[in-house]
C-alpha cells in the first residue's frame, strides 16, 4: 500500500478531534512529500539535526513536532520554527526553551512528558515533579513557553490491559494538572499518546494527539 493510502486509512479510524502527527524519523524527504501531497501537514522527528535539515529542505507550511528527548544545548537550532516540543522533562530544559523562544520572538507550545511505562528505560516526569515545575517562580515568569498539555509512551508490550492502564494514568494526570494549574486556560488541552501499535487504545483512553510512524511509512531500518 502507498503512503498516501495508509494516511487515509489511519485518518479514517481517528475521531476528527484527534490530531495525527506523522512520525517521519529516519525517513527520506520523498516519503514525507508523498504524505504531504496526501494532505498531511504535521510531522514528528526525534532528532534535532534531522528536524532542522528537513525543515530547511521541505515546504514551509509543514508543522514540525519534536517528539524525542531534547538536550538544552540543541534548543537554539529548532526554536525559530518548531511547532511543538513534546518531551519536556525538566524545568531547566523549559527555561532554555523560553530563552531561545524569546530570542526568536516566539511562544513555543510544549508538552510535559510523563513516565507512564512500568518499564525503567523511558524519560519523563512524575506527577510530583510536574507540580513542582508548574509551581516554580521560574515557570511562572516564563513568557515564551506555553504548556499545551502532556505526553507519554506506554510500555512496549502485548499486554493491552497494562497499556490501557498506563494511558488512563496519563489522562488522569492531565485532569489533575488541569484542575490545579490550568482550570481557566483552554490552551492546556493536549494529551499526546498513542503510536503505531497502541494508538487505538490511546484514543479510547482520551488521546487528543497520536504520533504514528511505521504504520504510515513502513518499518524503520534501524532502531531509534
Ligand X SMILES: *Cc1c(COP(=O)(O)O)cnc(C)c1O
Report in angstroms how near the CB of residue 214 gets to ligand X at its nearest. Answer: 4
Region of 4-12, 30-38, 119-127, 209-217 interacting with ligand X (CB under 6 A): 209-217
The Cα-based distances of 38 to 48, 131, 138, 222 in angstroms read: 25, 41, 42, 26
Region of 76-84, 122-130, 141-149, 211-219 interacting with ligand X (CB under 6 A): 211-219
Q: Which is nearer to ligand X, 18 or 142 (CB)?
A: 18
Q: Which is nearer to ligand X, 124 or 188 (CB)?
A: 124
At residue 185, the 3 state secondary structure works out as coil
Intra-chain end-to-end CA distance of the chain, in Å: 24
Three-state secondary structure readout of 10-36: HHHCCCCCCEEEEECCCCCHHHHHHHH
How far apart CA 214 and CA 212 sit, in angstroms, is 7
Q: Which is nearer to ligand X, 66 or 91 (CB)?
A: 66
Q: Which three cell numbers stand for residue 176?
A: 489533575
Q: Phi and psi of 150, rounded to 5°?
A: -130, 160
The residue written with cell numbers 476528527 in the block is: 16
Q: List the one residue from 25, 65, 122, 171 that touches ligand X (CB under 6 A).
A: 25
Q: Which is nearer to ligand X, 25 or 171 (CB)?
A: 25
Q: List the one residue from 32, 35, 62, 67 that touches ligand X (CB under 6 A).
A: 67
Report in angstroms how near the CB of residue 80 gets to ligand X at its nearest. Answer: 22
Binding site for ligand X (CB under 6 A): 23, 25, 46, 67-68, 153, 195-197, 211-214
Amino acid at each position: 500500500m502507498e503512503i498516501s493510502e495508509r494516511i487515509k486509512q489511519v485518518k479514517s479510524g481517528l475521531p476528527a478531534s484527534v490530531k495525527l502527527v506523522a512520525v517521519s524519523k529516519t525517513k527520506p524527504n520523498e516519503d514525507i512529500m508523498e504524505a504531504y501531497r496526501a494532505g498531511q501537514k504535521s510531522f514528528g522527528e526525534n532528532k534535532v539535526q534531522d528536524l532542522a535539515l528537513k525543515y530547511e529542505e521541505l515546504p514551509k507550511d509543514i508543522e514540525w513536532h519534536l517528539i524525542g528527548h531534547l538536550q538544552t544545548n540543541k534548543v537554539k537550532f529548532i526554536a525559530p520554527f518548531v511547532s511543538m516540543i513534546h518531551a519536556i522533562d525538566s524545568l531547566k530544559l523549559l527555561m532554555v526553551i523560553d530563552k531561545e523562544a524569546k530570542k526568536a520572538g516566539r511562544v513555543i507550545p510544549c508538552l510535559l512528558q510523563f513516565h507512564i511505562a512500568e518499564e525503567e528505560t523511558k524519560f519523563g516526569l512524575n506527577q510530583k515533579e510536574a507540580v513542582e515545575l508548574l509551581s516554580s517562580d521560574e515557570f511562572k515568569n516564563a513568557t515564551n513557553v506555553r504548556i499545551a498539555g502532556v505526553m507519554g509512551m506506554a510500555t512496549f508490550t502485548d499486554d493491552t490491559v497494562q497499556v490501557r492502564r498506563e494511558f488512563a494514568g496519563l489522562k488522569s494526570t492531565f485532569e489533575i494538572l488541569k484542575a490545579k494549574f490550568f482550570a481557566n486556560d483552554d490552551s492546556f488541552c493536549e494529551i499526546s499518546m498513542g503510536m503505531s501499535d497502541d494508538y487505538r487504545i490511546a484514543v479510547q483512553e482520551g488521546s487528543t494527539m497520536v504520533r504514528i510512524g511505521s504504520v504510515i511509512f513502513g518499518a524503520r531500518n534501524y532502531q531509534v
